[in-house]
Structure 1
Amino acid sequence: MNNRNLLLLAIALLMFPQIAQTLYSPALGDIGRVFDVGPEAAAQTLSVYFLAFAVGVVVWGRLCDRIGRRPTMLAGLAIYASATVIGLRVGSFTGLLAVQAVAAFGAAVGSVVTQTVLRDRFKGAELAQVFSIMGIALAASPAIGLFSGASLVQAFGYRGVLGALLVLAVLLLLWSMYTLPETRPEQLPPVSLIETLGRMLRDLGIWRSALWIASFNVALFSYYSLAPFQFQRLGLSDTLFGYSGVILALGSGFGAWFNKRLLKAGVAAMQLIRLAAVSGLLGGLGVWWLQDSAAFVLPMLLIVLAFGMAIPNILGMALVDYSDRLGTAGALLGLFYYLLIGAGLMLAGWSQALGETLIACSGLALLLTIKSAAK
């Protein structure tokens, strides 16, 4: 399989978890109505998703070092599709949360295994460029998810979203079955999970990367978990919330494109991450200032721009010291940051304070760049 075809499949597989998350977001209001739960409880479905996703990242990352990238990917997609079938029949909110957890466990394969495949094929500056390309493609995910999700909920309720996710999972399973290559090195030495965990727990660079990734992700996904209820409070429709995803996708896409251009110009990754953190902080202040107006969506452009700039650089340099154990190290890094994302979104769901959440996340990201420069 040539690199161009591999990148196309990798883009689809990396977009899958993000589309699954954002497609689900417009359904939160309908879930609250169908199961008679409040906004705080409904918003926790995304927190459960991320926490289960973290467990999946560890399992699939470890398996892709043990049995290979290809069979691991196929198993994860099959589990996601099976869980979604069950979700179409579930009759209680607790049951729906359980199904969400299993589905998230399966969806995690699209993140950790795809990143491992890309790290197998590309190195150094070329890898950073590839992640920038991925970032541009991922920018379309919020628009696809929010717009499609809003339309599906309006026509079919939350089950329409689940049905669409089932179709998507089956298509990706078939595509991967017929075209995904095995990229695991033949002479990969045996790696101890416990030894790798101990090494990474002592690595301050790993913790900085995990906190960065979590900060930018919580800032982004707190919008998807909290904004539906803010739109309701302002008397705005779910359809308008879906349209807001198009605006945000433009900001994220511009951020990833701008990042790619600056990388080619020789700007250092740390400078780009710092610039992204400043952008996010300004966006958070703007959302907080405009929270009683529909205009609060506009400063969210700075949040998604920050995400598009920062994440490719963080991912590109996070595991440079773990090239002999990319699957296992990627799994553990994913565990760290997805647990942090899940906890952050849980706190955001309880607070129902979007602006304050964005300010806290961006402030932490900026502080980490200052601490890093001071080392």
Structure 2
Amino acid sequence: MNSKSLLTLAIALLMFPQIAQTLYSPALADIGQAFAVTPERAAQMLSVYFLAFAFGVITWGRLCDRIGRRPSMLCGLATYAGASLWALSADAFSTLLAAQALAAFGAAVGSVVTQTVLRDRFRGAELAQVFSMMGIALAASPAIGLFSGASLVQGFGYQGVVGALLLLSIGLLMWCWRTLPETRPQNVKTPALFETFGRMLCDLQIWRSALLVASFNIALFSYYSLGPFLFERLGLSAQAFGYSGVVLALGSGLGAWLNKRLLQKGLGSSRLIQLASLLGLMGGVGVWLLQDSGLFVLAMLWVVLAFGMAIPNILGAALVNYTDRLGTAGAVFGLFYYCVMGAGLMLAAWGQALGETLMVCGVVALVLAGMSRRK
């Protein structure tokens, strides 16, 4: 499989978890009505998703070092398809929540195994450029997820979203079955999980990177978690929320494109992360000031632009000291930041305060980015 074909498949696989997350977002209000649960409880769907996703990351990341990248990917996608079938038959919110957790566990394969495949094939500056290109493509994910989710909910309710995700997972499973190569190096020994876990647990740079990833993701996904109810409070439709994803995708794409251009001009990753953190904080303040008006979406543009700039730089450099155990190290790293993301989104769902959540994320990211600059 040539590099161009591999990158095309990698883009689709990396987009899958994001699309799966954002497709559910417009369905939260419908889920709340269908199962007679409060907005706070319905919003827990995304926090449960990320917590289960974290355990999926450690499982699939570990397996891709033990049994290979290809079989791990196939098993994960099959798990997602099975969970979607279960969700279609759910007759209670607790059942839907359990199916969502199993689906998230399966979807994690699209993140950790795909990143491992890319790290197998690329190194250093080339890897950073690849992640930047991935970032530009991933900018379309929220737009696809929110717009498609809103349309599906309008036509078929939340079950339309579940059915679309079932078909998508089956399509990806067939694509990987036919074309995904095995990229695990022949001479790599499977490292001890607990030895790797202990080493990374004591690695301050790993924790800095994990908390940075979590901060930017909590800022982004708190919008998808709280946005439907904020739009409802302002008297705006679910369709309008779907259209907002198109606007935000433009901001995220601009951030990823700007990041790629600045990298090519020689600007360092740490400086770009610091700039993105400042932009994210500014966006959070703007959302807080405009939260009683639909204009708050314009302030969210700064938040998603910051996300598009920061994430490729953080991910590209996070595991430079763990190249002998990329699958296992990627799994542990993902476990760290997805657990933080799940806890953060659970607090955000409980607080129902989007502006304040964004400002906290911006301050945390700015402090962590400043720690790097002082080194």
Aligned to 1:138: 138
Normalised to the residue count of structure 1, the TM-score between the two structures is 1.00
**One-letter code of the match for 1:9?**
L
Deviation (angstroms), 1:92: 0.2
- After superposition, the C-alpha distances for 1:59-116 in whole angstroms (9 at most, x for unaligned) are 0000000000000000000000000011000100000100000000000000000000
**One-letter code of the match for 2:367?**
L
Asked if 1:224 corresponds to 2:230, the answer is no
* 1:217 aligned counterpart, secondary structure: helix
Aligned to 1:292: 292
**One-letter code of the match for 1:12?**
A
Q: Tell me how far apart the structure 2 counterparts of residues 225 and 350 of structure 1 sit (CA, whole Å).
A: 11
**One-letter code of the match for 2:108?**
A
Q: Which moved more, 1:123-132 or 1:190-199?
A: 190-199
Q: Tell me how far apart the structure 2 counterparts of residues 118 and 161 of structure 1 sit (CA, whole Å).
A: 30
Q: Tell me how far apart the structure 1 counterparts of residues 158 and 332 of structure 2 sit (CA, whole Å).
A: 33
Asked if 1:38 corresponds to 2:42, the answer is no
Aligned to 2:282: 282
Deviation (angstroms), 1:371: 1.7
1:96-115 matched pairs, under 5 angstroms? 96-115=96-115
Aligned to 2:370: 370
Aligned to 1:171: 171
- After superposition, the C-alpha distances for 1:305-336 in whole angstroms (9 at most, x for unaligned) are 00000000000000000000000000000000
Deviation (angstroms), 1:190: 2.8
Deviation (angstroms), 1:370: 1.3
Aligned to 2:313: 313
Q: Tell me how far apart the structure 1 counterparts of residues 235 and 373 of structure 2 sit (CA, whole Å).
A: 45
Deviation (angstroms), 1:295: 0.3
Q: Tell me how far apart the structure 2 counterparts of residues 129 and 252 of structure 1 sit (CA, whole Å).
A: 16
| Alignment coverage as a number of residue pairs | 375
1:82-121 matched pairs, under 5 angstroms? 82-121=82-121
Q: Tell me how far apart the structure 2 counterparts of residues 34 and 191 of structure 1 sit (CA, whole Å).
A: 47
**RMSD of aligned residue pairs (Cα, Å):** 0.4
1:199-238 matched pairs, under 5 angstroms? 199-238=199-238
Aligned to 1:55: 55
**One-letter code of the match for 2:163?**
G
Deviation (angstroms), 1:230: 0.3
Normalised to the residue count of structure 2, the TM-score between the two structures is 1.00
Q: Tell me how far apart the structure 2 counterparts of residues 96 and 82 of structure 1 sit (CA, whole Å).
A: 13
- After superposition, the C-alpha distances for 1:232-291 in whole angstroms (9 at most, x for unaligned) are 000000000000000000000000000000000000000100010000000000000000
**One-letter code of the match for 1:54?**
A
**One-letter code of the match for 1:351?**
G
* 1:11 aligned counterpart, secondary structure: helix
- After superposition, the C-alpha distances for 1:97-152 in whole angstroms (9 at most, x for unaligned) are 00000000000000000000000000000000000000000000000000000000
1:181-260 matched pairs, under 5 angstroms? 181-260=181-260
Q: Tell me how far apart the structure 2 counterparts of residues 96 and 72 of structure 1 sit (CA, whole Å).
A: 25
Q: Tell me how far apart the structure 1 counterparts of residues 130 and 71 of structure 2 sit (CA, whole Å).
A: 24
Q: Tell me how far apart the structure 2 counterparts of residues 190 and 131 of structure 1 sit (CA, whole Å).
A: 25
* 2:257 aligned counterpart, secondary structure: helix
Aligned to 1:3: 3
**One-letter code of the match for 2:140?**
A
Aligned to 1:339: 339
* 2:295 aligned counterpart, secondary structure: helix
Q: Tell me how far apart the structure 1 counterparts of residues 316 and 190 of structure 2 sit (CA, whole Å).
A: 24
Q: Tell me how far apart the structure 1 counterparts of residues 298 and 228 of structure 2 sit (CA, whole Å).
A: 16
Deviation (angstroms), 1:369: 1.2
Q: Tell me how far apart the structure 2 counterparts of residues 19 and 97 of structure 1 sit (CA, whole Å).
A: 18
* 1:320 aligned counterpart, secondary structure: coil
Deviation (angstroms), 1:374: 2.4
* 1:244 aligned counterpart, secondary structure: helix
- Gap regions ≥5 residues in structure 2: none
Deviation (angstroms), 1:373: 2.1
* 1:299 aligned counterpart, secondary structure: helix
Q: Tell me how far apart the structure 2 counterparts of residues 374 and 295 of structure 1 sit (CA, whole Å).
A: 37
Contact 2:81 2:166 in 1 (8 A): yes
Deviation (angstroms), 1:189: 1.7
Aligned to 2:65: 65
**One-letter code of the match for 2:128?**
A
Contact 2:271 2:373 in 1 (8 A): no
Aligned to 2:126: 126
Aligned to 1:348: 348
* 1:298 aligned counterpart, secondary structure: helix
**One-letter code of the match for 1:290?**
L
